[in-house]
Amino acid sequence: MTIRTFDGIEPRIHASVFVDDTALVLGDVHIGKDSSVWPMTVIRGDVNQIRIGENTNIQDGSVLHVTHDGPYNPGGYDLVIGNNVTVGHKVILHGCHVHDNCLIGMGATIMDGAVIETNSLIGAGSLVTPGKRLEAGYLWMGSPARKIRKLSEEEIESLAYSAKSYIELKNRHLV
């Protein structure tokens, strides 16, 4: 795995985290207990901070980045991902906040200042535009993402199941 210090800031990764050998984690990045980072993923905390909670999986080919503090972005945009989040293959998360127990579908893009509230499901290929706040408990799809329908209790439970299954898988990779 490639874990790199940037500007004197070293990533802080819990001992229980799996980071694939082909992934890059750079700079001001914290990754919580039982999380996983899969092949060819880039997590680049070079111009702002990235915080990833516990039991969260960042799947193959995803790109996580941030926006710097400057005249056009006062304060910049950090990236915060909560606990029990599944980030599907080839997702782009850029300077946004994803709350707990969410699933971000394959190929989705979530842009600066967007907020994904708890128990949300973002459909594959969706685009969440800058500054958009997505209400908790719904399926969101499209480009731009639109509220489709309320999630059932079973679907909300499946979000937690997804995160749990990735903990079991990362433990098999750590052996």
Residue 1, pLDDT > 70, answer no
Average pLDDT over residues 81-95: 98
What residue has token string 């802080």?
12
**Token digits of residue 34:** 């039982």
Average pLDDT over residues 81-106: 98
pLDDT for the residue numbered 175 = 87
pLDDT > 90 in the chain, percent: 99
Question: Domains in the chain, ordered, with CATH?
Answer: 2-174 (2.160.10.10)
Q: What is the pTM of this model?
A: 0.97
Q: How far apart are CA 131 and CA 33, in angstroms?
A: 29
Residue 128, pLDDT > 70, answer yes
Residue 132, pLDDT > 90, answer yes
Residue 77, pLDDT > 70, answer yes
Average pLDDT over residues 116-121: 98
Render 99-150 in DSSP notation, one character per residue. Answer: -SS-EE-TT-EE-TT-EE-SS-EEPTT-EE-TT-EEPTTEEEEETTEEEEEE
Q: How far apart are CA 93 and CA 87, in angstroms?
A: 9
Q: How far apart are CA 75 and CA 47, in angstroms?
A: 11
The string of pLDDT tens digits covering residues 11-47 is 999 999 999 999 999 999 999 999 999 999 999 999 9
Looking at every residue in the chain, the average pLDDT score rounds to 97
Residue 145, pLDDT > 70, answer yes
Render 2-58 in DSSP notation, one character per residue. Answer: EEE-BTTB--EE-TT-EE-TT-EEEEEEEE-TT-EE-TT-EEEEEEEEEEE-TT-EE
Q: Which amino acid is at 56?
A: T
